[in-house]
Structure 1
Amino acid sequence: MFEIYEGALNVPEIYAKWYEKSATQNCGAMLTFCGIVRDDDEVQALSFDIDEALLKKWFETWKQKLNTQGVSVFFAHSKGEVKVGQSSYLAGILSKQRKLGLKLINDFVEDFKAKAPIWKYDVKNGLKIYAKERSTKLEGAGILA
């Protein structure tokens, strides 16, 4: 399940939908990661730009990889502005056993942070400022020679 939302995520609603879908899958563990915007350095919100086609391709690669292990993956992310205290990212792994699920949710989130085509901006005093110091250069990005 891959979902992009405008603005903050409604975590209880999304989680309930994922849980309902997982109830018929005969799995023992549904593990989630919820990213929440925090107030660092007087940030009032974060704003996200997404290349949805590339993000979907990244997700589909993970989905196929995990499917071979009998594991399902869930993903929701915000585009646009998300205020402090609100969620912008929710990821989930559904697996037969918790140990595998715990490893995979960590691997998924770390790979997301390194490779997802999402650009993050701090919002301070109504201005969007690219969060360069918290960004990772995407493999293959840039001007071709």
Structure 2
Amino acid sequence: MRAVLQRVTQANCVVDGVTTGAIDTGFLVLLGIEDADTNEDLEWLAQKIIGMRVFSDENGLMNKALADVNGEILLISQFTLFAATKKGNRPGFTRAAKPDIAIPLYEKMIEKLSALLGKKVSTGVFGADMKISLLNDGPVTIIIDTKNKE
């Protein structure tokens, strides 16, 4: 699994003119899932997202996690995070998991993050043409890959 965390002061997802998810302070998380991903990857990544201390404390240092700032999460499925770009100019997506694998893991990630955060996680719509708006705070953008745990 690969996640791009963007610290935001606001973010939302619109599908066919309808807002499917919106947050204020928190993380916009773009989540890519590949065929090799497991529940162990999901558990590790969820803990990492929740525990990431990139919100400012009273001294302006990045010392606070989501719970410390009453933060929220907008989780967006993004198979393009596994784009293969070595050959040519048209990316390939063979590493990205097919829906039969990706959807259950995406839904489990929603449940896990909600449980760890103690509140509902906002989402996009898996496989839809989504319009994402955000106001990146900092900017702070962190990339986490479960294949680089060590």
Which structure ranks higher in relative contact order (CA pairs < 8 Å, sequence separation ≥ 6)? 2
* Shared fold (TM-score, shorter chain, > 0.5): no
Q: TM-score, normalised by structure 2?
A: 0.31
Higher share of residues assigned helix: 1
Name the larger-Rg structure: 1
Per the normalisation by structure 1, the TM-score is 0.32
